[in-house]
Amino acid sequence: CFNRSAILQVVSMDRYERLVGHVFCEAQSANRAMVRDGHAWVYDQYAKDKSLYELQDAARAKRAGLWRDADPIPPWDFRRKSSPRA
């Protein structure tokens, strides 16, 4: 989406009052592109679009993006370990 207009299709608001939704740039899903290219992880707890798993599996097989790491840490685990309350 760099230097392009984006459209946000709001789905909901999370418990921190952040917008949750789908982002489109020139009619392409930025959400799907990020997963496909290995720049985002599908969050099992909230994933409604099950086709994202196929994109994630393909990115993992190609070792794209975050999947280059031999042992990537899911962001929810990283946040839990990094939390001062942990």
* Tokens 């798993």 sit on residue: 53
pLDDT attached to residue 48: 85
Q: In the structure, what pLDDT confidence band is assigned to residue 9 with cuts at 50, 70 and 90?
A: very high
Tokens standing for residue 21: 């939704």
pLDDT at residue 68, as a whole number = 97
Query: CB under 8 Å to 82, separation ≥6 — which residues?
Result: none
- Output 82 or 59, whichever has higher pLDDT: 59
Beta strands in 1-86 (DSSP E): 6-13, 19-25, 28-29
Residue 2 has a pLDDT of 87
Q: Whole-angstrom Cα distance, residue 13 to residue 50?
A: 21
pLDDT at 86: 53
Q: What is the pLDDT of residues 24-76, one digit of tens each?
A: 999 899 999 999 999 999 988 888 889 999 999 999 999 999 999 999 999 88
